[in-house]
Structure 1
Amino acid sequence: MGTPKTSYFALAFFCAFSVANIYYNQPMLELFAKDFGVDEKQAGSVAMFVQLAYAAGLVFFVPLGDRMKRRRLLIILLGANVVASAVASFSQTIGQLITINIVIGMTSVGAQIIIPMVSLMATPEQRGRAVATVMSGLMAGVLFGRILSGIVGEHFGWRAMYIVAAMLDLVLLIMIPRLLPDNSFINKPIPYCTLLKSLVGYFIKERELRLSCFCGAMMFGSFSALWGGLAFLLALPPYRFGSDIVGSFGFAGMAGIIATPYIGKLADRYSFRTIVLAGGVLALLGFGAVYFSHHYLIALIVGIILLDIGGRASLVGNQLRALALSEDARSRLNTVFMCSYFIGGAIGTRIGAEISIVYGWFGIALMGIILSCLVILLNVKERRPAKNLKFDCKS
């Protein structure tokens, strides 16, 4: 018997506000600078360190989901996040705030523990839809976390936002016992060092995992390259937009949030390879539109929407393909995939900023087209039967 649909929406809510913890700081960086009397570079270090800490949490905490009760692990991480968020509101120096945000970042990985668990909670015919529903919550958290902190920070101050974050975490703590059984998919105990070593082992051994990692990294890297150069490009003629207008393009992400559950339904009907291929084609069309962005603003808007939907399709397809490889190691498989995904995004952001300065819209579009074509070719060449890419209850 499957899990009620309302539970998936509740878990999506959990994922949204769990991941939002690492994005609350971004709209408030200027407030940090003014309050602590530091420059923008020092204040910006808060955002950098919380992201690095999140990556570290993926490596060191998420694999524990294959070793201990996931409900207990979530309660421990979320409890630490409540305390850290509350303590952050009393920071007296930028150094203290950075240190506390490292704790916040490392303990905000609850969504990446929930997602593999959902793939076990759902019936085989509903897994794609269930994972996609929860993923849509994750994406919504990125968007709404920034909006919420921007409003609270502007009207009540940045310290108030950390108190609000702690209160939201308390709500999530109350939700956990109601959503997850006490025996939530505990596996046989595995030594912690063995868990960490197995991350490398799975990457080397599992061809499908490597394929998912490379395709996910290239898709997210190409999308991040556009955003890495967007502020520079839109500041130039003929647009001359400021950061407020540039940031408003983020609302195009609503298209991906809305599309994600439908992508999940398609993932239940078709192979994961097909979903990734569809994402690659949409990305190719999106970067084709970006090529004309210098002359037509509507082309950029259409391009970003296509890229966001294509990126979601790629993420859902590649992540499900990775999670299908082993029921007992889904937390570790998810860790390997998401680390690769974020590494691709970080590299893409860096390269995108440099390409945009030298080659403009053409350079960003060409990079995206090349990476999208590589993703398409890799998946067209993949000739394994579709049944090997679907979830198997005995896997």
Structure 2
Amino acid sequence: MKRTQSSYFALACLCAFAVANIYYNQPLLALFAKDFAVDEKYASSVAMFVQLAYAAGLVFFVPLGDRFERRKLLMILLGVNATASAVASFTQTIEQLIALNIVIGMTAIGAQIVIPMVSLIAPAEQRGRAVGTVMSGLMAGVLFGRILSGFVGDYLGWRSMYIVATVLDLALLMMVPKLLPYSKPTASQVSYPALLKSLVTYFIKEGDLRLSCLCGALMFGGFSALWGGLAFLLARPPYHFSSDVVGSFGFAGIAGILATPYIGKMADRYSPRVIVLTGSVIAALGFISVFFSSHYLLALIVALVFLDIGGRAGLVGNQLRALALSTEGRSRLNTVFMCAYFIGGAVGTRIGAEISVQYGWTGIAVMGFIVSCFVLMLNVREKNVNKMVNDTA
């Protein structure tokens, strides 16, 4: 594979369509609650379980990227994902939908197979820019998934969205051989149990990895808390918005998409810690804006833009800090980091749904601001933090 921007763009598109599968459900939560006659908190379990399943897929499937040829592995995962999405469109109970979303979440991890590959093929002086470009595709998938599902859900019903997801998966499956180059396994002689064990070993030995995991989980958890409660909050007075309008708020993610390549360039110039610090400050400002969202719609738009940019900075900075620890084990380092990242997102989604029902906009704002300030504190003095993390290991 030639190390060109067009190559990185192709991989960015692949990441976008793969990750979109775990975000289709978020604007549809209120529709799930209505159709299955369950309360809002229970309906939000779909979003929580799909993210937990994504984390599980990272643990059990992504390490195989170091042991097997990545292109074949990705095609298998896409095929299973397409099948689960098709079956999900016919479910009759919320429990069946949750079960199928677990399968969807576990097999939507294609982007995390591709990203470590980018960090290997890119020259060292361009690594941050290359990862930033591919990450912009990943974030485009988040944006695409929320917006598309919001409109499809409102006009055609939520079941139609799973049919659309199936078609997109099948199209991507046919394109993978052209989009993804052949990759030689770097740990073909390592057994699968040994690969899984090495995840724990990396986590125990590397203080920087643990710090990246904690900060990434907290930042994504705060961001996910807002989206976990957004469909319910916007369905209430004074807004009374339907799923298509809720999904359209995903357009705020354009700011993060546009910012991600520049964040990557900053990472090449400065340290990943500086990027994480910047992201936590921006996120804190975003949650201050959330506080005013119950009365001013513009405040919500500003909040989503700030949180998206802050979240992207936190993701790129923490991920680069983790991937820099080993050349041979980048798939496994990425697995540990992204597993923690999406566990944080799943917990945040659930907490956000609970807080939105109990305390509304104010509760989300206070929780997110505290989390952002804690991440800021953790990264102000990295040497002291690493010592603290190592002492607790």
CA contact (8 A) 1:27 1:146 kept: yes
1:253 shift after superposition? 1.7
- Kindly state the Cα deviation for residue 58 of structure 1 after the two structures are TM-superposed: 1.4
Once the two structures are superposed, the pairs formed by residues 159-308 of structure 1 within 5 Å of their partners are: 161-230=161-230, 239-244=238-243, 245-294=245-294, 296-308=296-308
Offset at residue 358 of structure 1 (A):
5.6
| TM-score, normalised with respect to structure 1 | 0.83
2:348 partner letter = G
* Residues 13-59 of structure 1: CA deviation (Å, up to 9, x unaligned): 1111112223345556677789xx84346876655544443232111
**Equivalent pair of 1:2/1:123 in contact (CA under 8 Å):** no
Matched, 1:13 2:31: no
- TM-score, normalising length: structure 2: 0.84
How far off is 1:212 after superposition?
0.5
- Counterpart CA distance in 1 for 2:220 and 2:292 is 21
Query: CA 1:12–1:240 in structure 2 vs 1: closer, same or farther (change >3 Å)?
Result: same
1:143 is aligned to 143
State the distance in 2 between where 1:305 and 1:151 align. Answer: 21
Structure 1: gaps (5+ residues): 385-395
Taking only aligned residues, the RMSD between alpha carbons, in angstroms, comes to: 3.2
Partner AA of 1:312 in structure 2? R
**Greater RCO, 1 or 2 (C-alpha within 8 Å, sep 6+):** 2
Distance across 2 between alignment mates of 1:153 and 1:357: 22
Post-superposition offset of 1:196: 1.4
Q: 1:347 to 1:303 in 2, by over 3 A?
A: same
> Secondary structure at 1:68's aligned position in 2?
coil
The answer to which of 280-289 and 42-51 deviates more is: 42-51
Q: What is the aligned-residue identity percentage?
A: 72
Residue aligning to 1:39? 37
Equivalent residue, structure 1, for 2:387: none
AA in 1 matched with 2:58: L
1:15 to 1:38, Cα distance in 2 relative to 1, 3 A: same
Aligned residues of 1:276 and 1:317 also touching (Cα < 8 A)? yes
Q: Decide whether aligned partners of structure 1 residues 175 and 377 sit closer, same or farther in structure 2, where only a CA change above 3 A counts.
A: same
Q: Deviations for 1:249-293, whole angstroms, at most 9, x for unmatched residues?
A: 332222112211211121122111111111112122223333444
Deviation at 1:340, TM superposition (A): 1.3
* Structure 2 counterpart of 1:349: 349
SS of residue in 2 equivalent to 1:315: helix
Q: Which has the larger radius of gyration?
A: 1
Which residue matches 1:379? 379
Q: Match of 1:53, as an amino acid?
A: A
Please report how far the alpha carbon of residue 178 of structure 1 lies from its aligned counterpart in structure 2 after TM superposition. 2.3
CA positional deviation for 1:344: 1.9
- Say which is worse superposed, 1-10 or 312-321, in terms of deviation: 1-10
Q: Relative to 1, partners in 2 of residues 1:240 and 1:271: Cα closer, same or farther, differing over 3 Å?
A: same
Instruction: Find the aligned partners of 2:49 and 2:353 in 1 and give their Cα distance.
Output: 20
Read off the aligned partner of 2:364 and give its amino acid letter.
I
Residue pair 1:216, 1:340 contacting (<8 A) in 2 also: yes
Q: CA deviation at 1:171?
A: 2.9
Residue type of the alignment partner of 2:64:
L
Distance (whole Å) between structure 1 residues aligned to residue 345 and residue 29 of structure 2: 22
Aligned twin of 2:111: 111
Residue identity matched to 1:3: R
Does the aligned pair in 2 maintain the 1:203–1:209 contact within 8 Å? yes
Structure 2 distance, partners of 1:69, 1:58, is 16
Task: Decide whether the 8 Å contact of 1:71 with 1:184 is kept in 2.
Answer: no
Call closer, same or farther: CA 1:236–1:208 in 2, change over 3 Å. same
In 1, the alpha carbon distance for the partners of 2:280 and 2:44 equals 33
Cα 1:271/1:228, change in 2 over 3 Å: same
Between 365-374 and 254-263, the greater mean CA deviation after superposition = 365-374
Q: In 2, Cα distance between the equivalents of 1:236 and 1:96?
A: 28
Q: Tell me, in whole angstroms, the C-alpha distance in 1 between the residues paired with 2:29 and 2:364.
A: 28
Q: 1:77 to 1:101 in 2, by over 3 A?
A: same
Q: Between Structure 1 and Structure 2, how many residues are aligned?
A: 381
**For 2:44 and 2:304, how far apart are their aligned partners in 1?**
26
Q: Which residue of 1 aligns with 2:390?
A: none
Q: Which amino acid is 1:242 matched to?
A: F
Contact 1:221–1:347, Cα closer than 8 Å, also in 2 = yes
* Larger CA deviation: 375-384 vs 80-89: 80-89
* Partner in structure 1 of residue 71 of structure 2: 71
Do the aligned partners of 2:51 and 2:342 also contact (CA within 8 Å) in 1? no
Q: Supply the AA of the counterpart residue of 2:119.
A: S
Q: In 2, Cα distance between the equivalents of 1:85 and 1:236?
A: 30
Contact between 2:128 and 2:267, CA under 8 Å: does it hold in 1? yes
In 1, are the aligned partners of 2:150 and 2:246 still within 8 Å (CA)? no
Distance (whole Å) between structure 1 residues aligned to residue 151 and residue 72 of structure 2: 33
How far is the alpha carbon of 1:145 from its aligned partner? 2.3
Greater mean alpha carbon deviation, residues 177-186 or residues 204-213:
177-186
